[in-house]
Amino acid sequence: MTTTETRSRMTGVGRVLVIVYAVMALAATGRSFVQIVRRFDEAPLAYSLSALAAIVYIIATLGLVLAHRRGWYTIAWVAIIFELVGVLVVGTLSLVVPELFQHDSVWSVFGRGYLFIPLVLPAFGIWWLRTHRPASARAAARSQEVAA
Amino acid sequence: MILWFTIVQIAVAVAAGLFAVIAGLAGRRPSDYTVGALALVELLLIIQVVVAIIAPFAGNPPSGDLLEFWVYLGSAVLLPVGGVTWALLERSRWSTVILGCLAFAVAIMLWRMEVIWMIQVA
């Protein structure tokens, strides 16, 4: 029943989400690679952040693909929440304290350079994770309900 | 880069993106038409690679960072290949939507490449 559904690889619209994450990971990795190779000394903070964002996108992509395993499900949550906090904090700081982020990072101005996809993506990720709990977590939740 | 060629290329990528996203949301599995549209996007990207190699020797050097340009172009070339591979492995409607999303991503990256080549003042 539900076990076969959750054990199978990602289905449906979740695959689109994974691809968008993978493209973001590729874009962020490529860009931060160039920034660090070329001009790291100009803006160490912004460019370190770019690299960190790229790594988190890679982890989130892997986490979504492997979310049917329990450990990875948790990792996906952590990565996506980190992204959401990152885009909100850096987005706000880049507007309020622009001198801190004169050089673009993925999250500057809420991801404007990436069509605001970084701002929208965590919301979709959280929605997907909430509706696709791994079987083990679901069974645990069910037994808790029974116990209560 | 050659501006008119890039504009044609972006137009083709956007059209392919719209076509595949609409076809996918309408429930179509990847077909010769949607995969073919992505193949056309890929063909134009390969021509762009050739153009980008030759252009600097033909008096059309980039104004921006050539490394950044090639990272974009290299990534863009991989996207349709990855999407089509996925579409062949997983013949569902969502693969068609994915083909469309990747075509849009290529369009955006092409515009960034054009900006790097033409507009940036080092």
Mean pLDDT of A52-80: 91
- CA–CA dist B99, B42 (Å, integer): 12
Per residue in B23-72, pLDDT tens?
Answer: 999 999 999 999 999 999 999 999 999 999 999 888 888 888 888 899 99
Q: Which amino acid is at B60?
A: N
pTM (whole model) above 0.90: no
How far is B58 from chain A, CA to nearest CA, in Å? 26
- CA–CA dist B36, B32 (Å, integer): 5
Contact B75 A16 (CB under 8 A): no
Collapse the DSSP code of B91 into the 3-class scheme (helix H, G, I; strand E, B; otherwise coil) and give the result: coil
Collapse the DSSP code of A116 into the 3-class scheme (helix H, G, I; strand E, B; otherwise coil) and give the result: coil
Whether B109 has a pLDDT exceeding 80, the answer reads: yes
Mean pLDDT of B70-97: 91
- Among B72, B83, B97, select the one facing A30 at the smallest CB separation: B72
How far is B94 from chain A, CA to nearest CA, in Å? 6
Could you count the other beta carbons within 10 Å of the beta carbon of residue A52?
Answer: 17
Q: What percent of chain B has pLDDT over 70?
A: 98
**Chain B neighbors of A37, CB-CB under 8 A:** 67
Range of the domain at B31: 3-118
| Radius of gyration, CA atoms only, chain A | 17
